[in-house]
A and B are shown apart, each in its own frame.
Chain A
Amino acid sequence: METRGDTRMQGYADPGLCRELADRIRAALTGRLRFMEVCGTHTVSIYRSGLRSLLPPEVEHVSGPGCPVCVTHAREIAACIALARIPGVIVLTFGDMMRIPDSRGMSLQQAKARGADVRICYSPAEALQLARANPDQEVVFLGVGFETTAPAVAAVVKQAGQNGLDNLSLLSCHKRIPPALGHLLAGRDLDVDALLLPGHVSTVIGLGPYSFLGREFGIPSAVSGFEPADILMGLYSLVRQQEKQKPEVINAYPRAVKDQGNRAAQAVLEEVFDSGPAQWRGLGRIEDSGLYLAPEYSGLDAWKRFGLEDIEDREPPGCRCGEVLKGKLHPRQCPLFGAGCTPSRPAGPCMVSTEGSCAAVFKYGM
């Protein structure tokens, strides 16, 4: 019989291994371990696998700012929608962006239903083909995501520049994770004991950019993969650091993450983007946390090309994503949860994204 447990992909979901790791965590635990999983993929994996029910109650988890769709600011959503409404513009986006509402409840999905040309893609490279196939139209790629997705987008921008594709541009809403962590920790209103760092982002940036976590904030952290056993291994490392009172940055995902990260990806990021301040939904303005096209590529900057820089919008009324993202509020404590806000009629981004913490609690929570 071939079932889920036997296949290659599920080796890291082996029940025996998971139970053993959970036991080790329980044995090494000295007190409360309230950890923040920075990445939305961790959030989903924790809920979907039922991992929570294996852990002792002293291990609590808080969903961090690591869902790229969730932290996309209302003004960025408003800019995407404004773009989609310009005649002759084709907006190309990853699917998860389609349902996020702006403050008036308008989303890309609704703009599309009213005639806007919005297309879903799976890889940023599709932008090049689309621009070539539609020379009379303007193709704009919505660049949303962290250091994980940004290098592939940067490579597309480079190619568009080299090929002289002048009907292609990028609306960069890319964000960087380490400055957001620094901002959260410096703000002192973050109630967590340790950080579970995102595996995907770390494959690109490596461990170096996190070194300030232990040094400046004395907080244990571990880079972790996404299968249940990966997450438990990360947690075990956090418990051990707490026990030894020696906070550092541990790579608990060595099969995918190299300590130096991916040099080629770092190089293309550096060439194409400059960092600057960015607005994060729920977290506000964070210095150095946004990625914007470098001056050599400013001709491909959709913010400038379509005069979107002055767009403003506020967060949907009543949505408490900001507090959810800081670990101060459990999704269920939001008055809108499950009533005014569900995955099919979301009020806020934490519910709209499949990786958002509100959506995960709504879909999988016991």
Chain B
Amino acid sequence: MHTHILLDHGSGGLASQRLIKDVFVRHLGNAVLSSLNDAACLDLSGRVAMSTDTFTVTPLFFPGGDIGSLAVHGTVNDVAMCGAVPRYLSCGFILEEGLSLELLERIVASMARAAESAGVQIATGDTKVVPRGAVDQVFINTTGLGELGEGTPPQGNRAAPGDAVLVNGSMGDHGLTVLAHREGLNFRTPVESDSAALNGLVSDVMQAVGDVHVLRDPTRGGLATTIKEIAEQSGVCIELEESRIPFSPGVEEGCSFLGLDPLFLANEGKMICIVPQDMAEKALQAMRSHALGKRAEIVGRVIQGQAGRVVLNTAIGGQRLVHMLEGEQLPRIC
């Protein structure tokens, strides 16, 4: 038995088959996947939502998650943000020659656990092995399919003046955790990624509210960039209350140390939810009753005004504009 990935594992021959059986099917197996046909035959009805994403995170393992669970959560969340019920995922692996099999198994096992708790099946997959140096250990692509119910689904262009803006918890945890872990930085207060599948929370909120106008997960670019996108897509003005936006103490400390703006840090288990004002309290209660929404808050409102403008009422009672992230945030020198 080999201990590391060889180019042979991608040859399509016996080594490939052994890898598929011993690692992928063993961990991810289910009736659809285990039949090992060229395509998965799925049981879906009505309108379908589909999303794809590719995961290249460094480091592969970080406090609160790893690339495997992230690849499941990320795509499950993208499908859920359309108001759909995620059902199936496909996963494509690009593996670097020399990758330890033990490491790969840990990643795949983590994917299996994440898929199971999110209630989705991994229906089909693919593996390629590339020469050492061509990728950084392992890249994973996942595509998700979900069933859309009746009615108009939540969409980025449906925010309307009078709506309330909610988030389900603290901002920036994932972004700061990955950055700190990659660079070996330690803060007095530890930070942990918020990586989680939000489909359960979404379905609770949809049930409580009926018509949710917008759902978006503020991943790269953070809360600021995503809110700005929504304001532009919907042609509305959005006002945020800084003092109501939750942050974990570790994120506050780390950002203050590195000179980063937590509003621009990525999240992997957070959503922005925009609902009619009279439904705001209901949505808030639904969120807070769920394990992933304990620190939910109403953080702002949609108002009439210059289309695409986002104003932040700051914690000290001032005001400033919020823009999209330009390039990557870089920690400061002094």
B interface footprint on A73-103 (CB within 8 Å = 1, 0 otherwise): 0000000000000000000001111110000
Given known pairs A3-B297, A122-B183, the reply for A96 and B249 (CB within 8 Å) is no
Interface residues of A in 1-49 (CB under 8 A from B): 1-5, 7-10, 13-15, 18-19, 40-41, 44, 47-49
Contact A50 B316 (CB under 8 A): yes
Does more than half of chain B's interface fall in helix, strand or loop, or is it mixed?
loop
B252 touching A7 by the CB < 8 A rule? Answer: yes
Q: For chain A residues 197-217, which have a beta carbon within 8 Å of chain B?
A: 200-201
Q: Is B47 interfacial (CB 8 A cutoff)? A: no
Q: Assuming A9-B252, A366-B320, is B333 touching A4 (CB within 8 A)?
A: no
Total cross-chain contacts (CB, 8 A): 129
| Inter-subunit contact A54/B249 (CB<8 Å) | no
Bound-state CA distance A304–B314 (Å) is 49
Which A residues between 287 and 332 are near B, CB-CB below 8 angstroms?
none
A2, A44, A99, A353 — most chain B CB neighbours (10 Å):
A2
Pair B317/A54 contact, Cβ less than 8 Å: yes
A365: chain B residues at CB < 8 Å are 320-321
Residues in B with CB closer than 8 Å to A200 are 334
A163-208 interface with B by 8 A CB criterion: 200-201
Q: Is the CB of B245 within 8 A of A4?
A: yes
A145 beta carbon closer than 8 Å to chain B:
yes
- In the complex where A95-B331, A344-B327 touch, is A355 in contact with B317 (Cβ < 8 A)? no
Select one of A2, A97, A228 contacting B295, CB under 8 A. A2
Tell me, yes or no, whether A162 is within 8 Å of chain B by CB.
Answer: no
Partner of A4, one of B243, B259, B319: B243
A200 vs B257: C-alpha distance when bound (angstroms): 12
B86 to chain A: closest CB distance in Å? 31
**Does B135 lie at the interface of the complex (its beta carbon under 8 Å from any beta carbon of A)?**
no
- Cβ–Cβ contact B316 & A363, under 8 A: no
Residues of B within 8 A of A15 (CB): 243, 315-317
Contacts of B329 in A (CB 8 A): 354
Beta-carbon nearest neighbor of A8 in chain B: B249
Closest A residue to B264 by beta carbon equals A363
B253 beta carbon closer than 8 Å to chain A: yes
Q: Which residues in B have their C-beta under 8 angstroms from that of A366?
A: 311, 319-321
Beta-carbon nearest neighbor of A109 in chain B: B327
Nearest neighbor of B321 in chain A, beta-carbon distance? A366
Whether B312 sits at the interface, judged by CB under 8 Å, is yes
B297: chain A residues at CB < 8 Å are 1, 3
B255 nearest in chain A by CB position: A9
Is A146 positioned at the interface, with any CB of B under 8 Å from its CB? yes
Q: Known: A4-B247, A15-B316, A342-B326. Is A41-B295 also a contact (CB below 8 A)?
A: no
Q: Is the CB of B330 within 8 A of A96?
A: yes
Cross-chain contact B259 with A18 (CB below 8 angstroms): no
Cβ of B333 and Cβ of A48 under 8 Å apart?
no
Interface residues on A, range: 35 or more
User: Is there a chain A Cβ closer than 8 Å to B98's Cβ?
Assistant: no
**Which residues of chain A come closer than 8 Å to B46, judged between CB atoms?**
none
* Bound Cα distance from A4 to B249, whole angstroms: 9
**Cα(A344)–Cα(B311), bound, Å:** 22
Q: Bound state CA distance, A13 and B316, in angstroms?
A: 6
B246 adjacent to A3 (CB under 8 Å)? yes
| Bound complex: CA A365 to CA B323 (Å) | 10
Cβ-closest chain A residue relative to B249:
A7
* CA A129 to CA B334, docked complex, whole Å: 21
C-alpha gap A43/B241 in the complex (Å): 22
A53 CB within 8 Å of chain B: yes
Task: Indicate whether A50 sits within 8 Å of B259 (C-beta atoms), given known contacts A8-B249, A122-B185.
Answer: no
From A1, A10, A344, contact of B252 by CB (8 A): A10
Find B320's partner among A94, A146, A364 (CB 8 Å cutoff). Answer: A364
- Residues of chain B in range 277-334 having any CB-CB distance to chain A below 8 Å: 295, 297, 311-321, 323, 326-327, 329-334
Residues of A participating in the B interface, judged by any CB pair closer than 8 Å: 1-5, 7-10, 13-15, 18-19, 40-41, 44, 47-54, 68-69, 94-99, 120, 122, 144-146, 148-149, 200-201, 228-229, 342-344, 353-355, 362-366
Can you report 18 residue pairs joining A to B where beta carbons are below 8 Å apart? A1-B295, A3-B243, A4-B315, A15-B243, A18-B317, A19-B317, A47-B320, A49-B316, A50-B314, A50-B319, A51-B314, A51-B316, A97-B333, A99-B327, A149-B334, A200-B334, A354-B330, A363-B326
With A3-B246, A15-B317, A68-B334 known, 18 other A-B pairs at CB within 8 A are: A2-B249, A3-B243, A18-B316, A40-B332, A41-B259, A50-B314, A50-B316, A50-B320, A51-B318, A52-B318, A95-B330, A95-B331, A96-B333, A97-B333, A99-B330, A342-B326, A344-B326, A365-B321
Ranked nearest first, the 10 interchain pairs of A and B with the lowest CB-CB distance are A50-B318, A50-B314, A95-B330, A343-B326, A344-B326, A148-B334, A18-B316, A53-B318, A50-B320, A364-B320
